[in-house]
Structure formats: structure tokens, C-alpha cells
């Protein structure tokens, strides 16, 4: 058995991927109604799989943007200047 199969990160990642595949596959035909305006004036009907995939893509993009902004801010941050030693003479 390859050593990467014994790695806990691989096992947990495989479980998460299988669970997401299960949720998407079992909800392909089911739909969710979003009521955009009161009194059923405007409703949006989406499949559950589309909601799951869309939220995963949205979460990934938001995470990447936050990481980019965080790294950019920490790179441009100025470090405090070291004080020059004062002479006592």
C-alpha cells in the first residue's frame, strides 16, 4: 500500500470529495425556490447541485481574493525604523 494512502490529509480529503459528489449526485433533480420579492411576485428556482457548486466557486474566489489582499498588505507594510543609538558624551 502506498504511503500517501495512510496520510490523514488524504483520507479526510477523500471523504470530503466523496461526500460532495454524493450530495451533488443525489440532488440533481431537486430544486430550491428563492423568493426575491414578497407575495411570490418574483421567484427563482435553482437546482440544489447548482447552489452547492455556485457556493463552492464563490467561496474559493473570496478566499483567493482575501489571501491576495492580505499578502499585498503585509508586503507593503512599512517596518518600524530602528532608533539610532544616542551617545552619552
Structural domain range at position 70: 30-74
The answer to whether residue 19 is domain-embedded is: no
- SS3 string, 2-53, reads CHHHHCHHHHHHHHHHHHHHHHHHHCCCCEEEEECCHHHCCEEEEEHHHHHH
Domain count across the chain: 1
- In a domain, residue 86? The reply is no
Residue 20 inside a domain? The answer is no
- Is pTM beyond 0.85 here? no
The per-residue pLDDT for range 31-88, each reduced to its tens digit, is 888 888 888 888 889 888 788 889 989 999 999 999 999 998 877 665 555 656 666 6
Amino acid at each position: 500500500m502506498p504511503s500517501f494512502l495512510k496520510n490523514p490529509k488524504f483520507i479526510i480529503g477523500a471523504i470530503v470529495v466523496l461526500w460532495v459528489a454524493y450530495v451533488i449526485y443525489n440532488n440533481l433533480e431537486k430544486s430550491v425556490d428563492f423568493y426575491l420579492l414578497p407575495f411570490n411576485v418574483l421567484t427563482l428556482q435553482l437546482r440544489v447541485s447548482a447552489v452547492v457548486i455556485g457556493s463552492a466557486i464563490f467561496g474559493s474566489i473570496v478566499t483567493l481574493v482575501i489571501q491576495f489582499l492580505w499578502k499585498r498588505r503585509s508586503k507593503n507594510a512599512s517596518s518600524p525604523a530602528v532608533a539610532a543609538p544616542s551617545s552619552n558624551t
